[in-house]
Structure 1
Amino acid sequence: MPRSPRSRPISALTACAGALAYTVSKVDLARDGELGMPGFPAPPEAYAQVTDVTAAQLGNAGLGLLMAVVALLLVRPPAARWLRRSVAGVSWLGIAMVGAGVIGFGARAAGVAPGLGERPPHMATAVAALVVGALWVAGWSVATAGVMRGARTTPPTSATSTTRAARTR
Protein backbone atom coordinates (compact mmCIF):
# COMPACT_ATOMS: atom_id res chain seq x y z
CA MET A 1 0.00 0.00 0.00
CA PRO A 2 1.52 3.37 -0.98
CA ARG A 3 2.28 5.76 1.84
CA SER A 4 0.79 9.22 2.07
CA PRO A 5 3.13 11.96 0.83
CA ARG A 6 2.77 13.48 4.31
CA SER A 7 3.90 10.42 6.27
CA ARG A 8 7.64 11.15 6.02
CA PRO A 9 7.40 14.82 7.08
CA ILE A 10 5.03 13.96 9.93
CA SER A 11 7.32 11.14 11.05
CA ALA A 12 10.37 13.40 10.82
CA LEU A 13 8.64 16.07 12.91
CA THR A 14 7.66 13.39 15.45
CA ALA A 15 11.32 12.36 15.65
CA CYS A 16 12.35 16.00 16.03
CA ALA A 17 9.83 16.43 18.86
CA GLY A 18 11.24 13.34 20.59
CA ALA A 19 14.77 14.71 20.32
CA LEU A 20 13.64 18.07 21.69
CA ALA A 21 11.85 16.37 24.59
CA TYR A 22 15.10 14.53 25.36
CA THR A 23 17.00 17.83 25.16
CA VAL A 24 14.62 19.61 27.52
CA SER A 25 14.75 16.70 29.99
CA LYS A 26 18.55 16.79 30.00
CA VAL A 27 18.62 20.56 30.59
CA ASP A 28 16.15 20.07 33.46
CA LEU A 29 18.30 17.32 34.99
CA ALA A 30 21.43 19.49 34.53
CA ARG A 31 19.71 22.36 36.33
CA ASP A 32 18.92 20.03 39.24
CA GLY A 33 22.40 18.43 39.19
CA GLU A 34 21.00 14.95 38.58
CA LEU A 35 22.16 12.06 36.42
CA GLY A 36 19.87 9.58 34.71
CA MET A 37 16.71 10.02 32.70
CA PRO A 38 13.27 11.30 33.71
CA GLY A 39 11.78 8.61 35.92
CA PHE A 40 15.07 6.70 35.99
CA PRO A 41 17.46 8.22 38.53
CA ALA A 42 21.07 7.13 38.32
CA PRO A 43 22.45 5.04 41.18
CA PRO A 44 24.54 6.94 43.77
CA GLU A 45 27.77 5.28 42.59
CA ALA A 46 27.31 6.87 39.14
CA TYR A 47 27.97 10.30 40.66
CA ALA A 48 31.47 9.17 41.66
CA GLN A 49 32.28 8.52 37.99
CA VAL A 50 31.13 11.94 36.72
CA THR A 51 33.17 14.96 37.76
CA ASP A 52 30.71 17.60 36.51
CA VAL A 53 27.10 16.45 36.39
CA THR A 54 25.85 19.72 34.90
CA ALA A 55 28.37 19.65 32.05
CA ALA A 56 27.65 15.98 31.34
CA GLN A 57 23.90 16.55 31.13
CA LEU A 58 24.32 19.72 29.03
CA GLY A 59 26.54 17.69 26.68
CA ASN A 60 23.71 15.17 26.38
CA ALA A 61 21.32 18.05 25.70
CA GLY A 62 23.62 19.20 22.90
CA LEU A 63 23.50 15.71 21.41
CA GLY A 64 19.71 15.90 21.61
CA LEU A 65 19.74 19.15 19.64
CA LEU A 66 21.97 17.56 17.01
CA MET A 67 19.52 14.66 16.69
CA ALA A 68 16.65 17.17 16.32
CA VAL A 69 18.50 18.86 13.44
CA VAL A 70 19.16 15.51 11.75
CA ALA A 71 15.46 14.64 12.08
CA LEU A 72 14.52 18.01 10.55
CA LEU A 73 16.75 17.25 7.57
CA LEU A 74 14.42 14.32 6.86
CA VAL A 75 11.41 16.63 6.37
CA ARG A 76 12.90 17.85 3.08
CA PRO A 77 15.94 15.67 2.39
CA PRO A 78 18.99 17.30 0.83
CA ALA A 79 19.17 17.00 -2.95
CA ALA A 80 22.82 15.95 -2.97
CA ARG A 81 22.99 12.17 -2.90
CA TRP A 82 26.06 12.02 -0.61
CA LEU A 83 24.44 14.39 1.91
CA ARG A 84 21.10 12.54 1.80
CA ARG A 85 22.91 9.23 2.39
CA SER A 86 24.94 10.77 5.20
CA VAL A 87 21.76 12.02 6.90
CA ALA A 88 20.23 8.55 6.53
CA GLY A 89 23.35 6.88 7.94
CA VAL A 90 23.50 9.22 10.93
CA SER A 91 19.77 8.67 11.42
CA TRP A 92 20.11 4.87 11.49
CA LEU A 93 22.93 5.21 14.03
CA GLY A 94 20.77 7.49 16.18
CA ILE A 95 17.79 5.15 15.86
CA ALA A 96 19.95 2.25 17.06
CA MET A 97 21.25 4.26 20.04
CA VAL A 98 17.87 5.59 21.13
CA GLY A 99 16.20 2.23 20.49
CA ALA A 100 18.79 0.47 22.66
CA GLY A 101 18.11 3.01 25.39
CA VAL A 102 14.36 2.47 25.22
CA ILE A 103 14.82 -1.30 25.38
CA GLY A 104 17.29 -1.05 28.28
CA PHE A 105 15.19 1.36 30.30
CA GLY A 106 12.08 -0.68 29.50
CA ALA A 107 13.80 -3.80 30.84
CA ARG A 108 14.82 -1.85 33.95
CA ALA A 109 11.25 -0.61 34.48
CA ALA A 110 9.88 -4.13 34.07
CA GLY A 111 12.40 -5.44 36.58
CA VAL A 112 13.76 -8.05 34.15
CA ALA A 113 17.27 -6.58 34.10
CA PRO A 114 18.33 -5.83 37.68
CA GLY A 115 21.88 -5.20 36.49
CA LEU A 116 20.64 -2.01 34.79
CA GLY A 117 19.45 -0.51 38.08
CA GLU A 118 16.54 -0.42 40.45
CA ARG A 119 12.98 -0.24 39.20
CA PRO A 120 11.89 3.39 38.80
CA PRO A 121 10.48 5.01 41.93
CA HIS A 122 7.97 7.06 39.89
CA MET A 123 6.55 4.59 37.39
CA ALA A 124 4.25 7.12 35.66
CA THR A 125 7.19 9.37 34.77
CA ALA A 126 9.22 6.36 33.64
CA VAL A 127 6.42 5.07 31.42
CA ALA A 128 5.94 8.54 29.91
CA ALA A 129 9.68 8.69 29.10
CA LEU A 130 9.51 5.24 27.50
CA VAL A 131 6.49 6.21 25.38
CA VAL A 132 8.24 9.37 24.17
CA GLY A 133 11.34 7.31 23.35
CA ALA A 134 9.34 4.67 21.48
CA LEU A 135 7.49 7.33 19.43
CA TRP A 136 10.82 9.03 18.72
CA VAL A 137 12.33 5.79 17.40
CA ALA A 138 9.22 4.91 15.38
CA GLY A 139 8.96 8.35 13.78
CA TRP A 140 12.66 8.52 13.02
CA SER A 141 12.60 5.02 11.51
CA VAL A 142 9.64 5.76 9.24
CA ALA A 143 11.13 9.08 8.10
CA THR A 144 14.56 7.56 7.39
CA ALA A 145 13.10 4.60 5.52
CA GLY A 146 10.99 7.03 3.51
CA VAL A 147 14.04 9.07 2.54
CA MET A 148 15.87 5.93 1.45
CA ARG A 149 12.88 4.64 -0.49
CA GLY A 150 12.32 8.07 -2.06
CA ALA A 151 15.95 8.24 -3.20
CA ARG A 152 15.52 4.97 -5.14
CA THR A 153 12.24 5.95 -6.76
CA THR A 154 12.85 9.65 -7.48
CA PRO A 155 12.47 10.29 -11.19
CA PRO A 156 15.50 11.90 -12.84
CA THR A 157 15.54 15.66 -13.20
CA SER A 158 15.28 17.24 -16.62
CA ALA A 159 19.05 17.96 -16.62
CA THR A 160 19.76 14.31 -15.87
CA SER A 161 17.33 13.20 -18.56
CA THR A 162 18.96 15.52 -21.09
CA THR A 163 22.43 14.20 -20.19
CA ARG A 164 21.26 10.59 -20.52
CA ALA A 165 19.60 11.32 -23.87
CA ALA A 166 22.79 12.93 -25.17
CA ARG A 167 24.84 9.87 -24.12
CA THR A 168 22.52 7.44 -25.92
CA ARG A 169 22.65 9.28 -29.25
Structure 2
Amino acid sequence: MSVTPRRGSPVRLGPPGSYVMFMLIAGLCWLPLRLWDERDGSALVAVVRAGLGGVIWGFLFLFILGRWGEPRTPAEAERNAGWRLTMAALRRGEPPTDEADLAAVTDNLPAVRRGALLGAVGGTVLLGVLIVIALHVGWTGSAIGFGVVLVAVLAQAARTRHRERRLRARLASVQGG
Protein backbone atom coordinates (compact mmCIF):
# COMPACT_ATOMS: atom_id res chain seq x y z
CA MET A 1 0.00 0.00 0.00
CA SER A 2 1.48 3.31 -1.04
CA VAL A 3 1.44 6.39 1.11
CA THR A 4 -0.11 9.41 -0.56
CA PRO A 5 2.01 12.51 0.01
CA ARG A 6 0.28 15.40 1.71
CA ARG A 7 -0.36 18.54 -0.18
CA GLY A 8 1.35 20.94 2.20
CA SER A 9 0.76 24.60 2.77
CA PRO A 10 0.86 26.87 -0.27
CA VAL A 11 2.78 29.33 1.89
CA ARG A 12 6.45 28.59 2.37
CA LEU A 13 7.40 30.49 5.50
CA GLY A 14 9.12 29.28 8.61
CA PRO A 15 7.24 29.24 11.87
CA PRO A 16 5.46 31.42 13.04
CA GLY A 17 5.24 33.50 9.84
CA SER A 18 2.56 31.42 8.19
CA TYR A 19 0.42 31.47 11.36
CA VAL A 20 0.66 35.25 11.65
CA MET A 21 -0.28 35.60 7.99
CA PHE A 22 -3.27 33.26 8.33
CA MET A 23 -4.28 35.01 11.56
CA LEU A 24 -4.33 38.35 9.73
CA ILE A 25 -6.33 36.91 6.83
CA ALA A 26 -8.84 35.25 9.17
CA GLY A 27 -9.21 38.46 11.19
CA LEU A 28 -9.84 40.46 8.05
CA CYS A 29 -12.43 37.91 6.94
CA TRP A 30 -14.21 38.17 10.30
CA LEU A 31 -14.12 41.97 10.41
CA PRO A 32 -17.10 42.72 8.09
CA LEU A 33 -19.29 40.24 9.98
CA ARG A 34 -18.28 41.69 13.35
CA LEU A 35 -18.85 45.24 12.11
CA TRP A 36 -22.31 44.17 10.99
CA ASP A 37 -22.98 42.59 14.40
CA GLU A 38 -21.86 45.78 16.15
CA ARG A 39 -23.49 48.25 13.76
CA ASP A 40 -25.26 49.93 16.67
CA GLY A 41 -22.31 49.55 19.03
CA SER A 42 -18.62 50.22 19.01
CA ALA A 43 -16.43 49.56 16.00
CA LEU A 44 -13.50 48.94 18.35
CA VAL A 45 -15.37 46.07 20.01
CA ALA A 46 -15.95 44.65 16.53
CA VAL A 47 -12.21 44.86 15.82
CA VAL A 48 -11.41 43.01 19.06
CA ARG A 49 -14.00 40.33 18.28
CA ALA A 50 -12.60 39.96 14.75
CA GLY A 51 -9.10 39.68 16.24
CA LEU A 52 -10.27 36.89 18.52
CA GLY A 53 -11.72 35.11 15.52
CA GLY A 54 -8.47 35.64 13.64
CA VAL A 55 -6.35 34.16 16.42
CA ILE A 56 -8.55 31.06 16.61
CA TRP A 57 -9.21 30.57 12.90
CA GLY A 58 -5.56 31.23 12.04
CA PHE A 59 -4.69 27.91 13.68
CA LEU A 60 -7.43 26.15 11.75
CA PHE A 61 -6.36 27.65 8.40
CA LEU A 62 -2.78 26.57 9.08
CA PHE A 63 -3.86 23.06 10.01
CA ILE A 64 -6.33 22.57 7.16
CA LEU A 65 -4.17 24.01 4.37
CA GLY A 66 -1.21 21.98 5.54
CA ARG A 67 -3.01 18.66 5.40
CA TRP A 68 -5.73 18.81 2.80
CA GLY A 69 -5.48 17.19 -0.59
CA GLU A 70 -2.76 15.69 -2.69
CA PRO A 71 -0.01 17.43 -4.62
CA ARG A 72 -1.28 18.27 -8.09
CA THR A 73 2.02 17.96 -9.90
CA PRO A 74 5.28 16.09 -9.38
CA ALA A 75 7.02 19.45 -8.93
CA GLU A 76 4.66 20.34 -6.08
CA ALA A 77 5.30 16.96 -4.46
CA GLU A 78 9.04 17.59 -4.76
CA ARG A 79 8.74 21.07 -3.20
CA ASN A 80 6.70 19.62 -0.33
CA ALA A 81 9.30 16.91 0.25
CA GLY A 82 12.06 19.53 0.25
CA TRP A 83 10.14 21.65 2.74
CA ARG A 84 9.59 18.67 5.04
CA LEU A 85 13.34 17.90 4.82
CA THR A 86 14.13 21.48 5.79
CA MET A 87 11.79 21.40 8.78
CA ALA A 88 13.28 18.07 9.90
CA ALA A 89 16.81 19.43 9.53
CA LEU A 90 15.83 22.48 11.61
CA ARG A 91 14.48 20.26 14.38
CA ARG A 92 17.54 17.98 14.35
CA GLY A 93 20.05 20.76 13.89
CA GLU A 94 21.99 18.68 11.38
CA PRO A 95 22.05 19.08 7.61
CA PRO A 96 21.20 16.01 5.52
CA THR A 97 24.04 13.98 4.05
CA ASP A 98 22.53 13.47 0.59
CA GLU A 99 23.58 16.13 -1.94
CA ALA A 100 20.05 16.66 -3.35
CA ASP A 101 18.57 16.93 0.14
CA LEU A 102 21.31 19.36 1.11
CA ALA A 103 20.45 21.55 -1.88
CA ALA A 104 16.75 21.51 -0.96
CA VAL A 105 17.51 22.56 2.61
CA THR A 106 19.85 25.32 1.44
CA ASP A 107 17.19 26.63 -0.95
CA ASN A 108 14.51 26.74 1.77
CA LEU A 109 16.54 28.46 4.53
CA PRO A 110 15.75 32.01 3.32
CA ALA A 111 12.02 31.21 3.58
CA VAL A 112 12.56 29.98 7.13
CA ARG A 113 14.31 33.24 8.00
CA ARG A 114 11.53 35.31 6.39
CA GLY A 115 8.93 33.37 8.38
CA ALA A 116 10.68 34.05 11.66
CA LEU A 117 11.02 37.75 10.83
CA LEU A 118 7.43 38.09 9.59
CA GLY A 119 6.17 36.24 12.64
CA ALA A 120 8.05 38.46 15.06
CA VAL A 121 7.37 41.81 13.40
CA GLY A 122 3.88 41.11 12.07
CA GLY A 123 2.79 39.37 15.25
CA THR A 124 4.06 42.24 17.41
CA VAL A 125 2.30 44.86 15.32
CA LEU A 126 -0.98 42.98 14.89
CA LEU A 127 -1.30 41.60 18.40
CA GLY A 128 0.08 44.77 19.99
CA VAL A 129 -2.63 46.84 18.33
CA LEU A 130 -5.27 44.31 19.38
CA ILE A 131 -4.01 44.41 22.98
CA VAL A 132 -4.22 48.21 23.08
CA ILE A 133 -7.70 48.25 21.55
CA ALA A 134 -8.93 45.49 23.89
CA LEU A 135 -7.67 47.40 26.92
CA HIS A 136 -9.26 50.59 25.61
CA VAL A 137 -12.72 48.98 25.31
CA GLY A 138 -12.39 47.20 28.65
CA TRP A 139 -11.91 43.64 27.39
CA THR A 140 -9.05 42.82 29.76
CA GLY A 141 -9.41 39.05 29.35
CA SER A 142 -9.04 39.35 25.59
CA ALA A 143 -6.02 41.61 26.03
CA ILE A 144 -4.41 38.99 28.26
CA GLY A 145 -5.20 36.30 25.67
CA PHE A 146 -3.66 38.38 22.90
CA GLY A 147 -0.61 38.90 25.12
CA VAL A 148 -0.22 35.16 25.67
CA VAL A 149 -0.43 34.54 21.93
CA LEU A 150 2.09 37.32 21.32
CA VAL A 151 4.56 35.79 23.77
CA ALA A 152 4.12 32.39 22.09
CA VAL A 153 4.64 33.90 18.62
CA LEU A 154 7.78 35.75 19.73
CA ALA A 155 9.16 32.65 21.45
CA GLN A 156 8.56 30.56 18.33
CA ALA A 157 10.17 33.22 16.13
CA ALA A 158 13.25 33.35 18.36
CA ARG A 159 13.46 29.56 18.42
CA THR A 160 13.15 29.31 14.65
CA ARG A 161 15.76 32.02 14.11
CA HIS A 162 18.18 30.30 16.49
CA ARG A 163 17.69 26.95 14.77
CA GLU A 164 18.09 28.54 11.35
CA ARG A 165 21.40 30.17 12.35
CA ARG A 166 22.66 26.92 13.84
CA LEU A 167 21.73 24.96 10.72
CA ARG A 168 23.25 27.60 8.44
CA ALA A 169 26.53 27.40 10.40
CA ARG A 170 26.57 23.61 10.12
CA LEU A 171 25.82 23.85 6.40
CA ALA A 172 28.77 26.21 5.96
CA SER A 173 31.08 23.72 7.67
CA VAL A 174 29.73 20.82 5.58
CA GLN A 175 30.03 22.74 2.32
CA GLY A 176 33.47 24.04 3.26
CA GLY A 177 32.49 27.70 3.17
TM-score scaled by structure 1? 0.49
Q: What is the TM-score normalised by the length of structure 2?
A: 0.47
Greater Cα radius of gyration, structure 1 or 2: 1
